[in-house]
A and B are shown apart, each in its own frame.
Chain A
Amino acid sequence: MLVFTRKKDESLIIGNEIEVTILSIGSGNVKVGINAPRHISVHRHEVYEAIKRENLAAAQSQIPKPDILKKLLG
C-alpha cells in the first residue's frame, strides 16, 4: 500500500484522471473530495461490502414452495 501524508487542501492524482483532495480534517474524521470521470464508480467501502455480502447470500437462496411464494407477498 502506498502511504502519503497530506495537509488540508492538498491532493493526490491517481492515473491521469482521478484527483483526491483532503477538504477538511476533524478529530477522528477527514472529508475527502474526489474528482473522477463519470465511468469510475466510487463507493463507501462498507456500503459496497454490505451489497456484496447480500448478493452472495441472495445467490444461496432456496426456491420456496409455491404457497410460500404467495405468502411472502402477503
Chain B
Amino acid sequence: MLIHTLNFGDLEVPEDKVITFKEGLPGFPQMHRFVVLELEELKPFQYLQALDEPPISLFIINPFLVDPTYEFRLADSDMEDLKSMNSAEMAVYAVATIPEDPNKATLNLMAPIVINDRVRCGKQVILHESKYSVKHPLLDSSIQNTKNAQQAH
C-alpha cells in the first residue's frame, strides 16, 4: 500500500506491516493505524508513521541503546491489550522529542511504545510507579559536561 508522509513523501509499505493501536496514543486518540519505518538516513532512530489523518510521525528508538539498564514490568492489563503473555515477542521503543536545538532532545522512558510483532498490535504503556521520566535527556550527561567545560573556557 502507498502511504503519505510529511517528511519522506509517498512510500510503499506492505499491508502486513500495519500495526493497530486500539486506543490510539495519549494526545492522538483517533490514530489507530501505524507503521514503523526504517530509513537508512535516520538510523538508529526509526519512524512511527500514522496512517490515519493527519499523517503525524514520531521518532522512536530502541531505549536499551540509550539506557542499557532500562527495565519495566508490563501490567497484566497491558499484556492483555497486547494479546500476549510472552514478553519475548514484544518490541519496545521510546518516543524521542527532538526540538530545534537537538542538544535538548529527550526520550520518553515513562511511556514506552510496546508492539506485538506477531499480532501486529501496539500500545503506549504508562509506567506509573517507575523512576523513569517523560523527558530523559538523550545526550549522555558526560557529553553535556564536556560541552559545558568547553564553553567555560
> By DSSP majority rule, is chain A's interface helix, strand, loop, or mixed?
helix
* CB pair A52 B27 closer than 8 Å: yes
| Chain A residue total in the interface (Cβ 8 A) | 29
From residue 40 to 67 of chain A, which have CB atoms closer than 8 A to chain B? 41, 43-44, 47-48, 50-64, 66
- B96: CB under 8 A from chain A? yes
Query: Are the C-beta atoms of A74 and B98 separated by less than 8 Å?
Result: no
**Complex contacts, B26 vs chain A, CB 8 Å:** 48, 51-52, 55
**Which one, A48, A61, A71, contacts B58 given CB within 8 A?**
A61
Given the known A-B contacts A73-B66, A74-B140, are A51 and B124 also in contact in the complex, defined by CB atoms under 8 Å? yes
Known: A61-B59, A61-B98. A54 touches B135 (CB 8 A): yes
Nearest-neighbour CB distance to chain B for A52, whole angstroms, equals 4
What is A's interface to B at a CB cutoff of 8 Å?
38-39, 41, 43-44, 47-48, 50-64, 66, 68-69, 71-74
